[in-house]
Amino acid sequence: MSEPVYHRGSCLCGNVRFETTASLQGASHCHCSMCRKAHGAAFGSYGSVRREHHRFVQGQDQVRAYRSSAQVTRSFCAACGSPLLWHSEAAHADWVAVPLGALDTPYETPPQKHIFVASKAPWVVICDGYPQQAEG
C-alpha cells in the first residue's frame, strides 16, 4: 500500500512536480538575503518535512541545485527557475524546506513566525503579531 499524499506541488512551468507523504511542519517566513534573492520577493515562506517524506514525481532531470552558502543547498527548476526546496547539510540535515508558494494543494496553517528579521528588506513592515527572530 502506498503512503498517503499530504501535499502536491510544482514549479511555474509544470515540468517538475513533487509530493509530500507527511504534513509540513514549522512554517515560517524567512527574511534572509538568500531567500529574498531566491524568490525575488520580500521573504520566502516555507514548511519543513523529513527528507524521506518528500519526493519528485515528475521532471527530476530538470531539478538543479545551487549551494547558496557553506551549509545550504537550494533546488530549483532548470526551465523556469522556480524554487523547489532547500536543505542544510548541518542543522536538521534529515529535513527539507518546501516553499509554500510552490504547493498546488491547500496549506491551511499560516506560518507562525518570521526568521532572520535582522536582515529583512528595510521597506518591509511586519505587523501580523507573529514572533520575530533576529536569526534562524
User: pLDDT tens, 2-19?
Assistant: 778 899 999 999 999 999
Q: What percent of the chain has pLDDT over 70?
A: 99
34-69 pLDDT tens trace: 999 999 999 999 999 999 999 999 999 999 999 988
Q: What are phi and psi of 71, to 5 degrees?
A: -115, -15
- Top-level CATH class of 7-119? mainly beta
Ordered by start, the domain boundaries in the chain are: 7-119
Judge whether residue 1 has pLDDT over 70.
no
CB within 8 A of 37, min separation 6: which ones?
Answer: none
Q: How many CA atoms lie within 13 A of 80 on its CB side?
A: 14
Which positions ≥6 away from 61 have C-beta within 8 Å? none
Query: Going by DSSP bridges, is the β-strand pair 63-67/72-77 parallel, antiparallel, or unpaired?
Result: antiparallel
- Model confidence band, residue 109 (pLDDT cutoffs 50, 70, 90): confident
Give the model's pLDDT for residue 90.
81
Q: What is the phi-psi region of residue 87: left when phi exceeds 0, alpha when psi lies from -120 to 50, beta otherwise?
A: beta
Is the pLDDT at 107 greater than 90? The verdict is no
Alpha-carbon distance values, 75 to 9, 14, 38, 94 (Å): 14, 15, 10, 16
User: What residues contact 108, with CB distance under 8 A and at least 6 apart?
Assistant: none
126 sits in which H/E element: none
